[in-house]
A and B are shown apart, each in its own frame.
Chain A
Amino acid sequence: MSPNHYTYCISSSALIFPSLGNELTPSVKYDFKFKDYAPWVFRSLREQSFHLDPADYLLSLTEKYILSELGSPGKSGSFFYFSRDYRFIIKTIHHNEHKFIRKILKGYHEHVRKNPHTLLSRFYGLHRVKLPRGRKIHFVIMNNLFPPHKDIHETYDLKGSTVGRLYPEEEAARKQNKVTLKDLNWIDRGKRLELGPEKRAFLTEQIKRDAEFLKNVYVMDYSLLVGVHNMARGNRDNLRRNTLKVVSVVSYYPTFRPQNPVTEFSSHPARDFTWVVTVETDPVTGRNEASHA
């Protein structure tokens, strides 16, 4: 992989409503512009390092486009969306984070190749969408650490710090553990990672290497996310469905539906190629967060 591969990007634009413009509101040149950063690097990451099937990946992210918003655990201001099959996370990121990922991409790629069992977030793609006269939205596509088929009964975000690292227990009880707990909750509850000597040695070594990499690229403020599934409890509470927020964004791309011939699309672009966005209000906060996007 040459150094150019890490800086290269592909830009494309799409016209969704060609007929919208008139004398008063001149039509824009595009409805959105899409940029794919370092496509070859990310393809190598996906297919060689992370063993993703390319068709699978595309299908998961385009097939139905039902994305559910996750209660944002951090103060970062990022929005999280799941792919419909819950395998991938789309996270909007700040421009600075975007630049930073591009900066460390080479090191990250090398680290992942040397450490196939890394615990670091798996980056599958880095993209930007720009709306005409609108702001640029950067996002990264990552693995969803939590599995689609198992309830997570407790979630901890551990930083190895004790300052401000307590989620109020009363509130946690009220919300029935649908929250992300922190270091002091972990300590106060006397939690342990129950691992025998073998797994303990592997895990310790891998965390050490990953932390070393992060240190070398001056990253801090990272966390170890710990999801706990209790097999005796299983999936009977159906927590997964209940933790998914009801804000959803839906897009229909008729061209991806096999029953819709391409010729039909090209003859009536305005009618066929529509983009539907569904927004529902979060019942907890009452905010309509998707409208910002």
Chain B
Amino acid sequence: MRETGPKRLDTDAVHLPDSETGDERQHFIFYQDDGGLRATNEANAPMDTIYYLGIIDICTPYTTFKRAEHIWKGLHADRVRAHTTLSSSISDSASASFSTRSAPWSPASTRNASPLSSRQSCPMGKVVSASSPSERGLPVVNLLRVVHLVVFLANLGSVSPIEFTFKVADPRVSGSPG
């Protein structure tokens, strides 16, 4: 390609329009306000912010490699935040626990739930029950990690990430020491 005599482009060649191009966004309720979703107050009256929201990176399946990465992060994450690693805190947690927890961006939780003032208060809905093992003492966490690792090794090659997560997550959520 380089043999074809590349030309240097003036970056000013990029001209973006000042008004909306294309009208497809008008069909979708979350993209209707200037292509996005305009903030509203409690009386549903518009405010001075427009959000552009979307769920991205949806092409990564939960594979054995990802599962290993999950464990690895769980073993290395710092203790204060790590107490939720097995169930919900790590980004590549299994899809089951991911979709069932109440996400920090959920408007309900962002506005009505307790303010997320400190970092230790994890935004996930599970935080209260999930943090209890570390309050009771770290050995529980360590034990769970070992169990986690064993379950992981036993499950290598199988394709049931959801079942796998529940095995580990359930004792923590129910509050039993495992």
Contacts and interface: CB of A to CB of B under 8 A. Distances in A.
A in complex with B: yes
Interface stretch (A6-14, A22-30, A219-227): A219-227
Interface stretch (B99-107, B139-147, B148-156, B166-174): B99-107
A206 B91 CA distance: 21
Given A120-B54, A160-B124, A161-B91, A194 B49 contact: yes
Nearest to B122: A162
Interface in B37-89: 37, 39-45, 47-62, 66, 73, 77, 81-82, 84-85, 88-89
A279 to B, nearest CB: 6
A119 to B, nearest CB: 5
A147 B20 contact: yes
A210 interface: yes
A276 B81 contact: no
Contact of A224 (B48, B60, B100, B103): B103
Contacts of A187: 104, 116, 119, 123
Given A163-B91, A241-B14, A200 B107 contact: yes
| Chain A interface bracket (under 10, 10 to 19, 20 to 34, 35 or more) | 35 or more
Nearest to B84: A162
A151 to B, nearest CB: 10
B57 A160 contact: no
Given A100-B59, A160-B105, A224 B49 contact: no
B31 to A, nearest CB: 9
Contacts of B66: 220-221
Given A149-B16, A192-B111, A220-B98, A226 B52 contact: yes
B121 to A, nearest CB: 9
9 contacts: A51-B27, A52-B22, A147-B36, A161-B88, A165-B91, A197-B44, A220-B62, A226-B105, A228-B50
Interface string A117-156: 1011100000000000000000010010111111010000
B92 A220 contact: yes
Given A199-B44, A221-B66, A158 B104 contact: yes
Contact of A206 (B8, B30, B35): B30
A120 B104 CA distance: 18
A264 interface: no
B9 A163 contact: no
A167 B86 CA distance: 23
Instruction: Name which of B5, B110, B122 has the most chain A CB atoms within 10 A of its CB.
Output: B110
Interface string B8-36: 11010110111111111101111000111
Given A148-B20, A215-B99, A244-B14, A223 B55 contact: yes
A148 B59 CA distance: 25
